[in-house]
Amino acid sequence: MKNTILYYYGLININITMYKDKAFIKCKEDVYVFQKIYDAKEVMQQYEFTKNIAEYYKFVFNKDNSIITPYNFNQYVLLKMNFNKVDLISKISNPIVSSKQDLYSPWVNLWIQKCDFVEYQIVHISGKYKVIDESIDYFIGMLENAIAYLNYNLSNDLPKLYIQHKRVSEKDFYNPLNVKIDSRERDFAEYLKLSFYNNQYNIMEGINLLKKMKFSRDEKIRLIARLLYPSYYFDLYEKLINNEDSEDNLKKVVVKTTEYENYLKQIFDILNTTNDLPYIHWLNP
């Protein structure tokens, strides 16, 4: 890898630390990450979204004036990192508006595809992972509830779009490969999930945040649907079946299902101040 970095970027006297499909590179006072990519078209879009935003890691162009570099029969990018502290609450409360409407993918289509794929997949892994066998029906049910809840939107208009994140975390917030164009409820919902699963949630903080955002009815419905969508479970599910994680971490999500239902009910009650949101009957008996 050192020869590749030298050949394409001219970096010498470097120290490399590997972590999964990433290489962290120290060169003098600078730190870079050499990261495998899976969709070159998406990466080019992410470059365009973030190239003029100071906080984000910067793509480094190689000797061929490209941000994409071949290595071991795969494609990689080199990102110059920064270590700016991120105030997640401030950032998700004030997202950057995007005009890239053609890059928006409606959640309902993606979630239906996800549901179909997982239902196909579990036929082939049945009996291999006890934690999946005992929990998958519940979380597929959550996913189906999320899809159904989106149908309560009154408007078919395209939502206002912003720079959002595939997953919200302090560690990867400024990594441009974590960026996508979406409605503002995405980051907000993922932040609420992050707070819950990290045992850092404070319901009074949640009330203040939700008041500050001033969500419309349709935005509230998308937020609730996003909270119903069990992203944490399916992220860990995929890592487990790809031999990238153990069953123990997935169990930590499974054992908190009742607690998460209570958390979701609290958020629903906060959002439903005017009593105009459709009830989730199994959540509000």
Kindly list the structural domains of the chain, giving each domain's residue range(s) and its CATH number in brackets, ordered by start: 2-80 (3.30.200.20), 88-271 (3.90.1200.10)
Say what the pLDDT of residue 42 is. 95
Say what the pLDDT of residue 119 is. 95
Residue ranges of the chain with pLDDT lower than 70?
Answer: 284-285
Say what the pLDDT of residue 35 is. 95
pTM of this structure: 0.92
Say what the pLDDT of residue 85 is. 87
Say what the pLDDT of residue 208 is. 82
What string of H, E and C letters represents the secondary structure of the chain?
A: CHHHHHHHHCCCCEEEEEECCEEEEEECCEEEEEEEECCHHHHHHHHHHHCCCCCCCEECCCCCCCCCEEECCEEEEEEECCCCCCCHHHHHHCCCECCCHHHCCCHHHHHHHHHHHHHHHHHHHCCCCHHHHHHHHHHHHHHHHHHHHHCCCCCCCCCCCEEEECCCCCCCCCCHHHEEEECCHHHHHHHHHHHHHCCCCCHHHHHHHHHHHCCCHHHHHHHHHHHHCCHHHHHHHHHHHCCCCCHHHHHHHHCCHHHHHHHHHHHHHHHCCCCCCCCCCCCCC
